[in-house]
């Protein structure tokens, strides 16, 4: 959890099907977790660009996230948590997954930049 965000789920590399991730261009920096790398999901000829991110060298407080990959829910046909279809967090930058267990308001929608 982060302030004003629904949860993001970081998946261990062993739980991701081999061969579907391809390193994408670009990076970003989180003041808490450190430098993020981005990933494309490639299935056959179909590519979902920059739909995942990871922290190859996270800060000491977030070392448990090393090389785990989180995904934006929006580009996929469906993402679920415990059988419930998630709603993607608003905005193009944030990757939280909204379920009925979490109530907003969430950062990412219009007017929320300064939260």
Assess if CATH 3.40.1440.10 describes domain 10-95.
no
H/E segment holding residue 87? strand 87-88
Q: What is the mean pLDDT of the chain?
A: 91
The mean pLDDT value for 33-58 works out to 96
* pLDDT tens, position by position, 9-32: 999 999 999 999 999 999 999 889
Residue 68 pLDDT: 97
How many whole angstroms separate alpha carbon 73 and alpha carbon 5? 14
Residue 90 pLDDT: 87
Edge-to-edge strands of the sheet including 10-11?
Answer: 10-11, 69-71, 46-54, 34-43, 21-30
Q: Give the model's confidence band at 92: pLDDT under 50 very low, under 70 low, under 90 confident, else very high.
A: confident
Q: Give the model's confidence band at 4: pLDDT under 50 very low, under 70 low, under 90 confident, else very high.
A: confident
The domain ranges of the chain are 10-95
Residue 110 pLDDT: 77
């Amino acid at each position: 959890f982060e302030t004003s965000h629904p949860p993001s789920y970081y998946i261990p590399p062993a739980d991701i099907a081999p061969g579907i991730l391809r390193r994408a261009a670009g990076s970003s920096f989180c003041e808490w977790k450190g430098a993020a790398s981005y990933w494309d999901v490639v299935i056959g000829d179909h590519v979902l660009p920059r739909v995942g991110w990871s922290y190859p060298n996270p800060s000491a407080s977030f070392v448990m996230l090393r090389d785990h990959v989180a995904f934006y829910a929006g580009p996929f046909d469906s993402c679920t948590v415990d059988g419930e279809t998630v709603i993607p967090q608003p905005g193009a930058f944030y990757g939280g997954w909204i379920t009925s267990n979490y109530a907003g308001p969430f950062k990412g929608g219009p007017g929320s930049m300064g939260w």
